[in-house]
Each structure stands twice: as structure tokens, then as C-alpha cells.
Structure 1
Amino acid sequence: MVKLFVGGLADNIQEMDLAIFVSLHGKIETIKVVRDRATGKCKGYAFIEVASLADANNIISMLNGEGFKGNIITVKLCEESAPKKVFKPKSAQPHKGKRPRMQR
């Protein structure tokens, strides 16, 4: 599957409205509108997974820069980010696990 980023969405967008708009140009597998947890309003972007790269390219070419619900939207391929490396400083003393038991 190919993941697309859709930006520039209105804050009152519904998943079904976006799905209908995009599905005219390619087969959608999943759709996720990113929302604010407190208000439930759209943060202005969504992620869509489509079946093939051909569908993704067709959606991008047809919808990028087009108007949707009064806003100009941006549609592009999601960049797969590499896993982030976690910085672990070397400590002066290695971690020994559990505390030693007290002798009686």
C-alpha cells in the first residue's frame, strides 16, 4: 500500500466527505483525519492509504492544488521516515540491576 498526505483541510471535514472526493481518482484502503483530542476538530491534514502507486500518482496529479470545501489542498506521497536513533550517554558506572540484599 502507498500512503498519501493530504493537507490544507477545513477544520470541520468529515472522513466520508474526503473519502468520496478522493475515491473518484483511486481505490482507498484506509483514511485517517487527524483531529484535536480536546475539540474533535480536524488539525488540517489527513493520511490516506491507497492500493497501488498508480492510484496514488493519479490522486496526486488530479487533486494536488485543487479546491475542497473552500480550501486549496495539498496531496503528496508520505515520506517514510527512518527509525530515530535514541541517544544513550555512556554512564560512569554500568547499571547493575537490582539492589544488593542486606546481610543479616
Structure 2
Amino acid sequence: MNIYVSNLSFNVQDEDLKEFFTPYGEVTSAKVINDRETGRSRGFGFVEMSDDAAGKKAIAELDGATVENRAISVTVAKPKEDRPARGNGGGGYNNGNSYNKNRY
């Protein structure tokens, strides 16, 4: 089960994230997402757990929990393909609404 964790303190590292979930079952991976340019945490991450029942229990018990004075949000992660691509909100030079679409 892939789990999305948001509102993390910028001090939380991958290993910390793994430790939050380990009491609920086997954590196969835990990754805090960092900004590409600065390397600083973006305040969210993903945890993968091998057992769905353990993942659901972790979500139920950790959602709203306080970690470093912040109430974290813990939900089932949505598949990547369900989200629009970054920067592809209908604008840009190559979108279907291009002003010269029918000019030639």
C-alpha cells in the first residue's frame, strides 16, 4: 500500500518517516520529497507498506497525529497517472487551444 503523508516538518528525514510507520508493520520504503533546486524538504512524502491491513491501520491512527508540533495528514496515495502533469494546466505553446490552430 502506498501512503501519502503531508504537512511534515521540514526537519523530517526519510528515516524519521519510516520510524513513524514501523510500529504498524513492515515499511518497504519511506521517502520525503525534496525541492529539486534547493534540496529542502517540500513538507510531504510517501510510505510504502507491504501489508494493506497494516497500512490502513497506520492511516487511521496517524492521520491528524502531531509530529514536531504539526498535525500531519495521512491518506492513501493516488496513482500518479490520476494527477495532471505539472505545468500542463491547459496553457503553454503546444496546447490544443493554440491561437494558430486553424491558420494554415
State the TM bucket, normalised to the shorter chain.
0.7 to 0.9
1:1-104 paired onto structure 2 within 5 Å: 2-80=1-79, 81-82=81-82
Do the aligned residues in 2 keep the contact of 1:27 with 1:51 (CA within 8 Å)? yes
Identical positions, percent = 26
Residues 22-69 of structure 1: CA deviation (Å, up to 9, x unaligned): 111221101111001222211010011110210110110110000011
> Which residues of structure 1 form unaligned runs of 5+?
93-104
- Matched residues, number: 88
Structure-2-length-normalised TM-score: 0.73
Distance 2:57 2:47 in 1: 13
**Relative to 1, partners in 2 of residues 1:54 and 1:11: Cα closer, same or farther, differing over 3 Å?**
same
Letter in structure 2 aligned against 1:15: D
CA drift of 1:82 comes to 4.5
Distance 1:16 1:82 in 2: 28
Do the aligned residues in 1 keep the contact of 2:28 with 2:48 (CA within 8 Å)? yes
Letter in structure 1 aligned against 2:44: Y
Distance 2:4 2:29 in 1: 12
Taking only aligned residues, the RMSD between alpha carbons, in angstroms, comes to 2.2
Q: Tell me which structure has the larger Cα radius of gyration.
A: 1
Letter in structure 1 aligned against 2:40: K
**Relative to 1, partners in 2 of residues 1:62 and 1:37: Cα closer, same or farther, differing over 3 Å?**
same
